[in-house]
Amino acid sequence: MTSTHMSRRAFGHVAVAGTAAVATGLALHGQPAGAAPMSPQPLPPLDPAALQAVIDDRAAPPSTAAQLRIGGTAGHWRGTSGLADLGSRRPVRAGDRLRIGSVTKVFVATVVLQLVAERRLTLDTPVRRILPGLLPDQYGAITVAHLLNHTSGLPDHVGIPEPETAEEVFRHRFDHWTPREWVATATHGPLKFAPGTRQEYRGINYVLAALIIDTLTGCPYGEAVAARVLRPLGLTRTSVPGDDPRIRGRHVHGYLRTADGRLRDITEYDQSSARGEGDMISTVEDVDRLLTALFSGELLPPRLLRLMFTLPPDEVRMLDGSPARYSTGLQQAAVNGVVLWGKTGETYGYKNAAFSTRDLRRRFVLAHHPTTVRDGTESQMIARVADLLTREAGGAG
């Protein structure tokens, strides 16, 4: 098992402005759910040279490759940098597959909301009613909605590896967990808070959401995602790997730097602990297509799509007291006054971000490949891209 703790971060948690974003990351700010929508912020023109320079700067964080795709009515651009395979020296190319980490949650939330639209369940349905015997009796107040917007209050995991070095990651790369075994590590003792009263980003919420899909559809969640999202949208390079630790087809390798200075290939590893919350494989192009279809209303009826752009009430705060920033399946980022919606994703050797303005004027999908293990620098390239795509708008305001 490879710890999924890395995928629990967002852009960054420090409020910054301007070029400070390059070093410290971007703040994620909640907007009150009932607030009137803001007027569209002006967006800067695309600067191809500057965009290429951002992904060519693979020193912070240390990375082996990067891909960036920008779309929307305010302009298009795409670029690549670095090597997909250090052994063969093959450059990264558009269409290369990669691990998308927690961007998986967008697919899972979409399918659960489709099941809600079909009246197979409601967002207020207690999880224990759908998955009897899996959660303790004292967790009876947790509903489907609490899972999808990270307000369940589930305890921290106990008894799982917590790799702090590349060597420890490799030691546990092929550990295997069944979904029930993994759920059991986070269903002991009392809840951290009453469901619906606080927000804490937790992958276990989506492990349970995937089990709900299994139960209601009668097939593994990956088959439901394929039938309901991948095939209708033509996402032919996107897959749920199941028990296969490999990435099939042409792909970008992930690497970690070990204590002796070597870059060691971490592409293959068991994803069972990330089932439903961070195990999917895709491409930058396919993720961009997903964002476009989802935001355009191709996948959900309007009343349910609105939930993906609705944060919890003001009184629901993150554990550190900051405003809630996760909706149903997405997260909100306010960068230089421009509100973006989307998702970050991270597994060892892979870091991703897929965000768009609600009106699809500007969206971006970034995939890059850090070689560090949880040193706090993994989001720096995302911060630089988001700052560059919105900076002039902040100056205009």
Query: Could you report the per-residue pLDDT of 214-231, keeping only the tens digit for each?
Result: 999 999 999 999 999 999
pLDDT by residue (tens digit) across 94-127? 999 999 999 999 999 999 999 999 999 999 999 9
In angstroms, the CA 373 to CA 240 distance is 24
Q: Using 50, 70 and 90 to split pLDDT, how confident is the model at 393?
A: low
pLDDT by residue (tens digit) across 219-266? 999 999 999 999 999 999 999 999 999 999 999 999 999 999 999 999
Q: Quote the pLDDT of residue 397.
A: 40
Say yes or no to pLDDT of 93 above 80: yes
pLDDT by residue (tens digit) across 282-306? 999 999 999 999 999 999 999 999 9
Q: How far apart are the first and last CA of the chain?
A: 47
Strand pairing report for 263-265 and 317-318: unpaired
Do residues 381 and 66 make contact, with C-beta atoms less than 8 angstroms apart? yes
Say yes or no to pLDDT of 211 above 80: yes
The arithmetic mean of pLDDT across residues 140-156, rounded, is: 98
Which residue, among 345, 176, 181, 171, has the nearest Cα to 244 in the 3D structure? 176
Give percent helix, percent strand, percent coil of the chain, each to the nearest 5: 30, 20, 50
pLDDT by residue (tens digit) across 172-197? 999 999 999 999 999 999 999 999 99
Report helix angle 48-56 to 380-396, nearest 10.
150
Q: Quote the pLDDT of residue 375.
A: 77
Which residue, among 3, 2, 12, 1, has the nearest Cα to 378 in the 3D structure? 12
Q: Would the CA dihedral through 81, 84, 90, 92 be positive or negative?
A: negative
Q: Quote the pLDDT of residue 41.
A: 78
Q: Quote the pLDDT of residue 6.
A: 36
pLDDT by residue (tens digit) across 29-80? 333 333 334 557 789 999 999 999 999 999 989 999 999 999 999 999 999 9
Q: Quote the pLDDT of residue 39.
A: 56
Say yes or no to pLDDT of 27 above 50: no
In angstroms, the CA 272 to CA 244 distance is 9
Q: Quote the pLDDT of residue 374.
A: 77
Q: What's the topology of domain 5-396?
A: Beta-lactamase (3.40.710)
Q: Quote the pLDDT of residue 295.
A: 98
Strand partners, 206: none
In angstroms, the CA 300 to CA 328 distance is 13
Q: Quote the pLDDT of residue 3.
A: 38
Three-state DSSP class for residue 396: helix
Strand pairing report for 350-356 and 338-347: antiparallel
pLDDT by residue (tens digit) across 346-390? 999 999 999 999 999 999 999 999 999 977 888 999 999 999 999
- Other Cβ atoms closer than 10 A to 229: 22
Q: Quote the pLDDT of residue 20.
A: 34
The DSSP symbol for 47 reads -
Q: Quote the pLDDT of residue 377.
A: 87
CA distances from 279 to 30, 38, 116 (A): 27, 35, 23
Per-residue tokens: 57: 């700067």
Which residue, among 371, 304, 268, 341, has the nearest Cα to 62 in the 3D structure? 371
Q: Quote the pLDDT of residue 396.
A: 46
Q: Quote the pLDDT of residue 21.
A: 34
Say yes or no to pLDDT of 23 above 70: no
